[in-house]
Amino acid sequence: MNRLEASRALVSALGDEPVIASLGHPAYDLFAAGDRKSNFYTWGSMGLASSLGLGLALARPALRVFVVDGDGSLLMNLGSLATIGSAKPANLVVIVWDNQEYGTTGGQASATAHGADLEAAARAMGIHATATVRTEEGLRAAIVRARTDAGPWVIVAKVAESAPAVKPPLDCVFIKQRFMAAIGTAEAATRGSHQ
């Protein structure tokens, strides 16, 4: 399974749940799999996708929040696993596309190519709903569980690099406003006054 196939499997398994995508190839493949108003594409802030997901999950406990992160970006912010393991938001699902390399920057091997185990790291930080999957069937089954069963979830999906050829919208404010409207938190400044 490559990351685009995995992204398609994710989108097809979801309803309108929000998905926050790490910058670069995870965001590109999420867009290629299906642009959705409830997709939040980051264009910077490497490492912070899971933190964004945690914040959204804390603000909206009734909303099941999905994150698509990369192995390199999660390794940049491993402390996030400790914070998620402490806060234990039941509605947060972090999916890690683990291609064992920095795919967006030319394919430098990441620590997971040398044995680092991000599922084990999540479990060591107190996150008990975890899985490592290697096939689309395994990924779909994990997502089905994660949509309903209590989290926080960390699903490590071993994927091949997919060399995406498309990019999501570049306008950050457009991405944000479309996303917030889709999840029911449209900014006051976009709504006008009805007094």
Partner 1 sequence: MAWADAVAAGVHAAGSRHLVYVPDNPLSHVLTALGAQFPDIHTTLATREEEAFGIAAGLYLGGAKPTVMLQSSGLGNSLNAITSLLIPYQIPVLIVISMRGDEGEWNAAQGPMGRAIRPILESMGIPHVTADAAETTAETVRLVGHTAFGTRLPGACLLPRRLTVPQKATA
The C-alpha torsion from 140 through 101 and 34 to 31, rounded to 10°, is 160
CA distance 73 to 59: 23
CA distance 97 to 160: 9
Considering the rule CB under 8 A, would residue 79 count as an interface residue with partner 1?
yes
Q: Could you tell me the two tokens for 135?
A: 């096939």
- CA-CA-CA-CA torsion sign (132, 133, 139, 144): negative
Considering the rule CB under 8 A, would residue 94 count as an interface residue with partner 1?
no
DSSP 129-181: EEEEE-SHHHHHHHHHHHHHS-S-EEEEEE-B-----------HHHHHHHHHH
| Region of 24-32, 53-61, 129-137, 150-158 interacting with partner 1 (CB under 8 A) | 53-61
Query: What is the footprint of partner 1 within residues 133-192 (CB under 8 A)?
Result: 172-173, 175-176, 179-180, 183-185, 187, 189
Which residue type does 124 have? A
Q: Which of 42, 110, 130, 162 binds partner 1 (CB under 8 A)?
A: 42
Shortest distance, CB of residue 53 to partner 1, whole angstroms? 6
Shortest distance, CB of residue 180 to partner 1, whole angstroms? 6
Considering the rule CB under 8 A, would residue 53 count as an interface residue with partner 1?
yes
Considering the rule CB under 8 A, would residue 105 count as an interface residue with partner 1?
no
- Residue 91's nearest CA partner among 150, 179, 141 is 150
Of 38 and 99, CB closest to partner 1: 38
Q: Which of 13, 46, 111, 181 binds partner 1 (CB under 8 A)?
A: 46
Positions touching partner 1 (CB under 8 A) are 20, 40, 42-60, 63, 77, 79-80, 82-83, 86-87, 172-173, 175-176, 179-180, 183-185, 187, 189
